């Protein structure tokens, strides 16, 4: 996550520090993401694949991450002195034509710290998105995985289309920013037309600026890249830790290469049976449930928003509607409108640690002070966006920043064949409002994001069936807003009999391992380090936030 600007209260400054903890990052050296023409003459696909599998990686100390990866400082050495190393992996631009053009993928690693005789191999991470730079993210989160480094090299990468791996760009002069578009239009009039026009113009800009890679950034090709990484890194099996979207990528890998699956953990599990609209509807319910849990906690703390959870939810729904009509001005000549309110709440529900900051912000907004929530929305809304990009451009172009949003759209639309229309959204809007009057409208309209996309999507939902694969540990969080708990059971069913093994975390926030819950971490570590799976029906319970916090 990028550095956020100063927050208005001490508790929010603490939150910003927590947000910034994952900033330490790096970018690989060389011209990462470059695409190379076919230099092999009459090289056959078989010869090209042999060459790719036999390539040697040149590992070097990591520089600071590039702006397209999110910016920040070069990662410092780990406590034992281990330095982060970066390299590039050559892979086909199109896996259906491996002897054609190639592209470079950005990789990062920290070598295992334990006895070399105990080393298992590499543990490959994907932290989700899609669109997040693994190269920029892993160093900041490495303390959470230090125990795993006793037997694994920790490895991550920028997936194709992301960051320094031929990062997709949709920037175009004259396009409005997403913040200038009403993402929850009230009717089928001008606001709706503006949203439709924005999506189509964004798609056209993506084709104009990145058309040569747009058809090749889907999850299936990313999974094929991971198998190439496995071979080049010298591992017989792929040991893997996928979070959020990374669980979908892991499921697709298991489907394509069941015989190569090693010890794999999927945390914050995506429901592989959903298409774009169904996923958005499930998320509306997930965020609503998580907000109700926050509201109940807030009421127990004696916050000024209401006497019980229902009162607090009703007050905030009314506040969002009022801010849509009359935003609260802020001291930096900005404003807090309904969209910013929902963005702040949504971001704060990703980690229970953020709840105290959200309470402060909502109490202030209810008292006509939008400063705190506006700052919180900006801090939590900048995941992977490269921090502040206020530098004035002298040539009239947009300052370069992280391409996470562009990559998210490109990968999502390459994967999904769903192309929803305004009529489709309007017909389902009542379902979204029933699921959540606060989060439902924005998620319903998000189903339009692939309208006008120049590449046909692969399928309605991913194929993850993996008969014959070894056990895959699935961690589901009962309070997860972004990947609701039911997704873990559906992933287990689709992976196939005796493949998906479920671990339940009765907690809050997105994912479970990074919550710090000892039970979850010990169970996951036991599987990855010793191969010991939890007993069926194992449940880990969260520790409540301390009273008064």
pLDDT at 527: 98
Quote the pLDDT of residue 420.
96
Cα separation, 373 vs 175, whole angstroms: 27
Give the pLDDT band (50/70/90) at residue 176: confident
Per-residue pLDDT averaged across 310-316, rounded?
97
What is the pLDDT, as a whole number, of residue 390? 37
Mean pLDDT to the nearest integer, 221-233: 98
> Mean pLDDT lowest for which of 152-156, 220-224, 332-336, 453-457?
332-336
At residue 397, the pLDDT reads: 32
Q: Given this model, what pLDDT does residue 399 score? A: 41
Q: What is the pLDDT of residue 2?
A: 31
Are the beta carbons of 458 and 416 closer than 8 angstroms? Answer: yes
Which pLDDT value is given to residue 347? 95
Q: One of 244, 346, 416, 418 is an active-site residue; which one?
A: 244
Burial degree of 77 (CB within 10 A; 0-12, 13-18, 19+): exposed
Using the CB atoms, write b or e for 305-316: b if 16+ within 10 Å: bbeebeebbebb
pLDDT score for 400: 57
Instruction: Kindly report the pTM of this predicted structure.
Output: 0.89
- Asked if residue 283 has pLDDT above 70, the reply is yes
At 421 the pLDDT is: 94
Predicted confidence at residue 23, as pLDDT, reads 25
Helix axes 10-20 and 355-366, enclosed angle (nearest 10): 140
Q: Is the pLDDT of residue 182 over 50?
A: yes
247: pLDDT strictly greater than 90: yes
CA 342 from centroid of its chain's CA atoms: 18
449 is catalytic: no
Q: 384, 136 in Cβ contact below 8 A?
A: yes
Residue owning tokens 């949504």: 346
Identify the weakest region by mean pLDDT among 10-14, 129-133, 321-325, 335-339. Answer: 10-14
Q: How confident is the model at residue 391 (pLDDT cuts 50, 70, 90)?
A: very low
Has residue 371 got a pLDDT over 90?
yes
Q: Report the alpha-carbon distance of residue 409 to residue 164 in Å, rounded.
A: 17
Mean pLDDT of 2-25: 33
Q: What is the pLDDT of residue 295?
A: 98
pLDDT band at 114 (very low <50, low <70, confident <90, very high): confident
Confidence band (pLDDT; 50, 70, 90) for 33? low
* % of the chain exceeding 70 in pLDDT: 87
Q: Rounded to whole angstroms, how far apart are CA atoms 178 and 201?
A: 12
What six digits make up the tokens of 183? 């993402």
Q: Which residue in the list 104, 225, 480, 514 is annotated as catalytic?
A: 480
Q: CA neighbours within 13 Å on the CB side: how many for 37?
A: 2
Instruction: Kindly tell me if the per-residue pLDDT of 302 is higher than 90.
Output: yes
On the question of pLDDT at 520 being above 90, the answer is: yes
Q: Do 263 and 236 contact (CB within 8 A), yes or no?
A: no
For β-strands 500-508 and 121-126, DSSP reports them as unpaired
HSE (CB half, 13 Å, CA atoms) of 486? 9
Which residue's entry shows tokens 């906690």? 297
Assign 17 a pLDDT band (cuts: 50, 70, 90). very low
Q: Is the pLDDT of residue 19 over 90?
A: no
Task: Say which of 235, 414, 510, 514 is annotated catalytic.
Answer: 510
pLDDT in tens, 82-104: 999 999 999 999 999 999 999 99
pLDDT band at 467 (very low <50, low <70, confident <90, very high): very high
Is 8 known to be catalytic?
Answer: no
Q: Which range is least confidently modeled, 29-43, 336-350, 495-509?
A: 29-43
Task: Indicate whether 22 pLDDT > 50.
Answer: no
Is 480 an annotated catalytic residue? yes
- The pairing of strands 102-110 and 35-36 is antiparallel
């Amino acid at each position: 996550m990028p550095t956020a600007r100063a927050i208005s209260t001490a508790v929010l400054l603490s939150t910003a520090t927590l947000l910034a903890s994952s900033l330490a990052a790096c970018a690989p050296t060389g011209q990462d993401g470059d695409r190379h023409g076919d230099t092999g003459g009459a090289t056959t696909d078989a010869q090209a694949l042999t060459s790719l599998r036999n390539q040697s990686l040149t590992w070097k100390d990591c520089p600071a991450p590039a702006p397209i990866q999110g910016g920040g400082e070069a990662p410092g050495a780990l406590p034992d002195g281990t330095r982060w190393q970066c390299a590039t992996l050559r892979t086909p631009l199109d896996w259906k034509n491996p002897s054609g053009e190639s592209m470079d993928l950005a990789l990062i690693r920290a070598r295992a710290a334990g006895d070399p005789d105990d080393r298992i191999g590499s543990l490959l991470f994907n932290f989700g998105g899609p669109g997040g730079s693994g190269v920029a993210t892993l160093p900041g989160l490495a303390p959470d995985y230090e125990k795993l480094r006793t037997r694994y090299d920790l490895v991550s990468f920028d997936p194709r289309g992301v960051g320094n791996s031929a990062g997709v760009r949709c920037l175009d002069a004259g396009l409005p920013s997403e913040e200038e578009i009403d993402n929850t239009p009230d009717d089928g009039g001008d606001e709706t037309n503006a949203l439709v026009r924005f999506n189509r113009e964004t798609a056209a800009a993506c084709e104009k600026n990145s058309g040569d890679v747009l058809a090749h950034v889907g999850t299936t090709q990313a999974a094929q890249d991971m198998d190439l990484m496995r071979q080049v890194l010298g591992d017989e099996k792929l040991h893997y830790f996928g979070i959020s979207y990374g669980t979908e990528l892991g499921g697709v890998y298991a489907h394509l290469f069941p015989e190569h699956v090693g010890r794999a953990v999927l945390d914050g599990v995506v429901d592989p049976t959903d298409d774009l609209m169904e996923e958005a509807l499930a998320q509306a319910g997930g965020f609503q449930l998580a907000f109700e849990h926050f509201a109940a906690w807030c009421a127990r703390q004696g916050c000024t928003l209401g006497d019980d959870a229902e009162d607090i939810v009703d007050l905030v729904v009314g506040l969002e509607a009022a801010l849509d009509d009359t935003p609260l001005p802020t001291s930096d000549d900005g404003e807090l409108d309904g969209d910013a309110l929902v963005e702040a709440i949504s971001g704060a529900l990703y980690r229970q640690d953020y709840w105290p900051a959200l309470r402060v912000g909502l109490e202030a907004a209810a008292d006509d002070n939008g400063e705190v929530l506006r700052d919180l929305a900006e801090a939590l809304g900048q995941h992977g966006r490269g921090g502040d990009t206020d530098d004035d451009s002298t040539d009239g172009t947009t300052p370069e920043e992280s391409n996470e949003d562009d990559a998210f759209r490109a990968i999502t639309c390459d994967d999904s064949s769903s192309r929803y229309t305004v009529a489709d959204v309007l017909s389902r809007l009542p379902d979204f409002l029933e699921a959540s009057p606060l989060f439902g409208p924005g998620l319903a309209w998000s189903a339009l994001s692939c309208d006008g996309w120049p590449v046909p999507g692969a399928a309605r939902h991913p194929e993850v069936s993996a008969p014959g694969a070894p056990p895959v540990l699935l961690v589901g969080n009962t309070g997860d807003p972004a990947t609701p708990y039911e997704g873990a059971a559906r992933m287990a069913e689709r992976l196939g009999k005796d493949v998906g093994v479920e671990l339940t975390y009765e907690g809050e926030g997105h994912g479970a391992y990074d919550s710090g819950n000892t039970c979850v971490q010990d169970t996951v570590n036991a599987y990855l380090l010793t191969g010991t799976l939890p007993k069926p029906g194992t449940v880990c319970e969260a520790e409540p936030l301390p009273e008064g916090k």
